[in-house]
Amino acid sequence: MLLKGKAAVISGAASPRGIGRSTATLMAEQGARIAILDLDEGQARDAAASLGPEHIGLACNVADLDACKKAAAEVTEVFGKVDVLCNIAGITQPVKTLDIGPADWDRILDVNLRGVLYLSQAFIPHMRENGGGSIICMSSVSAQRGGGIFGGPHYSAAKAGVLGLAKAMAREFGPDGIRINCVTPGLIQTDITGDKLTDAMRADIIKGIPLSRLGDARDVAGAYLFLASDLASYITGAVIDVNGGMLIH
Ligand code: NAD
């Protein structure tokens, strides 16, 4: 049990086939109490209930600072402490540079980047009081290789922003015992691509992956679990690639 007695908050974990849900399941299997934060309260609650009665689900739009603060207050009241924060909520949009409108830019940056800042701001004071913690932020191979997988350039920009934000926070909060790291997945089979990922696109992408398959949500959950656990106690400001070798650098 890598997380026995720990409390973990996971944003974007309501989606049944998503990375957040898989991370929640794996962390619960490893002994953590889980708080799932997602847009819809009913779906967040159902997702938490599917893990067992000791877990909770709350509505929280990560792009809304007040909502993040409210969720942090509720979770810390119920659990008494928070040891792990997994920033996983995210959205994407497959468009080219010249087609990115102002509202697209705002939406993609708000959820993927601003959301990481706001949720971290909401939980860091509790972690400080608690003597430390682990925050794991969701970036993407798209940030490292200049997109070209599925999301548009605004998605790449947001995910690259997450790398800078997380590294800077790691430097700032290391003295408080708070470790902050990122995960950069390649193409993972979830519902984020909707029906826009065609079989031809999928086959083409697999040709460039040394492990010859797309990733599964559980592949990414494993990296989150490692970084959350004490196995990673001297790791902060790091980036772990989970991409099947799609990008080796
Ligand atoms: P998903 O669509 O299955 O899950 C995303 C979850 O985030 C959903 O439950 C959704 O309701 C929630 N969400 C969206 N906006 C939110 C908001 N404002 N506040 C709170 N919750 C919100 O997608 P996924 O593939 O599991 O993606 C999870 C994360 O992994 C995202 O940040 C995504 O960008 C990133 N990622 C995914 C892939 C991939 O190939 N699937 C690759 C690299 C990175």
Phi, psi of 153 (to 5 degrees): -60, -30
Q: How far is the CA of 175 from the centre of ligand 1 (A)?
A: 30
> What is the overall mean pLDDT for the chain?
97
The pLDDT tens digits of the residues spanning 106-116 come to 999 999 999 99
Q: How far is the CA of 12 from the centre of ligand 1 (A)?
A: 6
Name the H helices within 5-113: 19-29, 41-51, 65-79, 102-109
Q: Which residue has the tokens 């934000």?
A: 165
Which residues belong to the active site?
A: 155
Q: Give the closest residue (by CA) to ligand 1 atom 26.
A: 18
Which is the closest atom of ligand 1 to the Cα of 90? Answer: 32
Quick one: average pLDDT of 59-68? 98
- Residue 148 scores a pLDDT above 80: no
pLDDT of residue 239: 98
pLDDT of residue 201: 86
d(CA 116, CA 127): 16
pLDDT of residue 144: 98
* 20 CB near ligand 1 (under 6 Å): yes
Which residue out of 66, 192, 206 has the highest number of ligand 1 atoms within 8 Å of its CB and is therefore the one to mutate?
192
The conformation of residue 231, written as its DSSP 8-state character, comes to: G
Q: Across the beta sheet with 7-11, what order do the strands follow?
A: 56-59, 33-38, 7-11, 84-87, 133-138, 178-185, 239-242
The pLDDT tens digits of the residues spanning 170-205 come to 999 999 999 999 999 999 999 988 888 888 888 999
Asked if residues 28 and 55 have their Cβ atoms less than 8 Å apart, the reply is: yes
* 67 CB near ligand 1 (under 6 Å): no
Pairing verdict, β 56-59 and 178-185 = unpaired
The pLDDT tens digits of the residues spanning 217-237 come to 999 999 999 999 999 999 999
Q: Give the closest residue (by CA) to ligand 1 atom 31.
A: 90
Q: How far is the CA of 88 from the centre of ligand 1 (A)?
A: 6
- ipTM > 0.90 (yes/no): yes
- Residue 138 scores a pLDDT above 90: yes
The conformation of residue 2, written as its DSSP 8-state character, comes to: T
d(CA 59, CA 43): 9
d(CA 200, CA 238): 34
- Residue 48 scores a pLDDT above 80: yes
- Selection from 93, 134, 138, 132 nearest residue 115 by Cα: 138
Domains and CATH numbers, the chain: 7-242 (3.40.50.720)
Q: How far is the CA of 182 from the centre of ligand 1 (A)?
A: 15
Which is the closest atom of ligand 1 to the Cα of 142? Answer: 43
